[in-house]
A = this chain, B = another copy of it.
Amino acid sequence: MLTGTSTAAAGAGALLSILRDGQARTRAELVELTGLARSTVSLRLDALLSQRWVVPGDDVISSGGRPATAFTFNKSARIVLAADLGATHARLAVTDLAATTLAEREAEMPIGRGPEAVLTWLVDTFRELLDECGRRLADVCGVGVGLPGPVEHDTGKPVNPPIMPGWDGFPVPDWLGARLGVPVLVDNDVNMMALGEYWAGRSQVEHLVYVKIGTGIGCGIISGRRLHRGAQGAAGDIGHIRVPSSDENVACRCGNIGCLEAVAGGAALAARLRAAGHETADTRDVVRLVRAGNTEAIQMIRQAGREVGVVLASIVNFFNPAMILIGGDLAGAGEHLLAGLREVIYSRSLPLATQHLSVRVSELGDRAGVVGAAVMIIEHMLSPEAVDQALSA
């Protein structure tokens, strides 16, 4: 026999990739799609069936007069634990392999409590969620975590995160891995949000920019269906691009002046409205004022939209995304913010780059980060190489 187990395993991951589109296919259809010998397809299907990555469908399709079994990807074969840890809030979920939520929890959980306190709570809550949906830790294929600061992707360690006291260099994957016994991947929360949104719209979009406008401003980038993290994992830090503004000398927490975040971020807007006599402690107060129809707040948010628009117009010319999605707390100000944004993007970007450009509010809203964290694990664990490795182990 020329093909051993390892050969069957080597091709099985690629076969699984084909079936992940959700369509049920017969052996004959898989032979046609892959150009492989029927015997090879059968061998690889057997490997996938034995681990329940693939299941025979209920459908029996008549092909050439003979009934045949159709096989489908088993999205319940494993489950995923996903967490989006924000500055003050956290969202945790258990999902299947299609990133569909099986159980979810939202809670106040200040990141400033430090890694051990926050991650202990994370582990406890994951256990509760597993109980809720009747699954066991043994079914979990990985844990994905989004953090509100820069993360060194290879090690999963936070790097000088400005709003995360105690987290700098903390080995999140090791700590969680030791307690949960499964692979852990950690990334910046805005990257996770971009990945979540890409996943939700993946049938149409190859290149996408997700802009989070909250207390600060940052973005996540999808280039060619993959997350673009940049050379130091610092890509997307658009909050510190200098913009022309009425007050060009406004100081930013980064040490520079005139940064987009210092001019148009939620903290800046709240401070400016406070100076004008309003009770705006944070971004949510600004949004509340806008929703209540306060003219001053509305004008301010529209101007903030224009200032973010100046930066996005450059990004459209440089990057030519198919879609720009706006998320974060300030996205709650909806059309007022978008109107300012669009005004500048459409007047300053090239027609070829804007003719099919879609600029809109995030579809997943507050759930983008946790969906993205699940997707990060799914893409990692279901890559052809990872599946082949799992099958040959």
Contacts and interface: CB of A to CB of B under 8 A. Distances in A.
Interface of A: 1-4, 6-7, 10-11, 34-37, 39-40, 43, 150, 159-160, 205-207, 219, 221, 223-224, 226, 228-238, 240-242, 244, 254, 256, 310-311, 313-315, 317-322, 348-350, 352-353, 355-357, 392
Nearest to A258: B348
B2 A241 contact: no
B39 A10 contact: no
A207 B6 CA distance: 34
- The 9 nearest A-B residue pairs measured at CB: A230-B320, A231-B322, A235-B320, A223-B223, A234-B320, A4-B37, A234-B353, A234-B352, A241-B314
Work out how many copies of this chain go into the complex: 2
A36 B11 contact: no
Nearest to A322: B231
Among A238, A314, A322, the most chain B Cβ lie within 10 Å of the Cβ of A314
A312 B112 CA distance: 35
A206 B230 CA distance: 8
14 contacts: A2-B37, A3-B3, A4-B40, A223-B228, A230-B319, A230-B353, A234-B352, A237-B352, A238-B318, A241-B313, A241-B317, A242-B313, A242-B348, A314-B314
Contacts of A311: 314
Nearest to A39: B2
A241 B309 CA distance: 12
Contacts of A236: 318, 320
B321 A230 contact: yes
A40 B11 CA distance: 12
